[in-house]
């Protein structure tokens, strides 16, 4: 997928690029560890909002109306 003419990295590639020589094995272990700890990697939409952000915004809006 491309965004503003720049290819979008997968979560695995984004983590792997943090290590020398794009270590995909280390990226896989890091993602597995995050998952084990209860974290999730979510993609953002074109405006930079994630699904989690949209859910939090919706919850805040409901609190204001009650």
7-11 average pLDDT score: 85
Q: Model pTM?
A: 0.59
For 19-55, how does the pLDDT look when each residue is reduced to its tens digit (9 = 90+)? 989 999 999 999 999 999 999 888 777 666 666 665 5
Alpha carbon separation from 10 to 17, 43, 49, 59, 65 (Å, rounded): 11, 9, 17, 29, 38
Q: What is the pLDDT of residue 44?
A: 74
Q: Which residues contact 11 (CB under 8 A, 6 or more apart)?
A: 31, 41, 43
Q: What is the pLDDT of residue 55?
A: 58
Q: What is the pLDDT of residue 62?
A: 67
């Amino acid at each position: 997928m491309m965004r503003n003419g720049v290819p979008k990295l997968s979560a695995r590639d984004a983590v792997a690029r943090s290590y020398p020589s794009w270590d995909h094995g280390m990226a896989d272990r890091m993602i597995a560890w995050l998952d084990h700890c209860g974290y999730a990697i979510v993609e953002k939409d074109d405006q930079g909002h994630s699904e989690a952000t949209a859910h939090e915004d919706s919850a805040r809006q409901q609190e204001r109306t009650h």
